[in-house]
Amino acid sequence: MSSKRIALITGANKGIGFAIARQLGERGHAVILGCRDADRGESAAGILRAAGIEARALVLDVTVGDAVEEAERSIERDEGRLDVLVNNAGIHFGPPPPAAEESIEDIRRIFETNVFGALRVTQAFLPLLRKSDAGRIVMVSSGLGSIGETLDMRSENWGVGFAGYCASKAALNMLVVKLAKELDPHGIKVNAADPGLTSTDLTGNGPGHAPDIGARSAVALAMIGPFGQTAAFQACTPAGELVGHAW
């Protein structure tokens, strides 16, 4: 059992998830990289260990109930608790056609990872988070899930398609609020982090800032203090300042 605060990050072998794991490790956490592929997860964990970070990989497919339960049993057996859960795993298929033509099957698969997967993992690990003296849950969401900004003609959201992906993040945001209200009496804070437009495999490695910048909002919320917010939807500027989003 580690004497450090223990953080589990899903989808952590690359991109924003890996950057979150590294930054939390650099700040004194023991990090567990939840990954679908064991070899890729171990390779990523090895990079962190070489940098002096306490890290290990854990096979975790957020869409498979048995895999999630097995991962929870592994952490319970080895650590006995969990202090931080970052639900980072997410997918989309794009660029998709207009919403009127977008594949229902593709949208269903997006929701299975982005919404149901995040809730499945959260529900499974709540008993271990309740054993922490300061449990923190961070959902990696997106400003594209903001209904208010999507309706604002001045917002960059106005001209964005990706209806299924955006709807999944809007649904995830509602889960953040519901969980935050429910878990607040237990001292567990639940927040949503918006990494902003980040250049990763998910975005085709196109325009956007580096994953190190995209990870900052999630890291800040994972480390938020006892008087910090819950049910917040926040992004992080390149300077490291947390800024609020409209739900």
Known catalytic residues?
A: 165, 169
Q: Which residues contact 72 (CB under 8 A, 6 or more apart)?
A: 124, 125, 128
Distance between CA atoms of residues 121 and 102, nearest Å = 27
Q: Which of 30, 124, 122 is nearest to 73 (CA)?
A: 124
Helices (H) and strands (E) in the chain, counts: 9, 8
Contact 218, 86 (CB under 8 A): yes
Sheet holding 30-35, edge to edge: 55-59, 30-35, 6-10, 84-87, 136-140, 189-194, 233-236, 242-244
Q: Find out whether 76 and 124 touch, Cβ atoms under 8 Å.
A: no
Supply 25's token pair: 């490790």
Integer CA distances (angstroms), 50 to 22, 25, 35, in order:
11, 12, 19
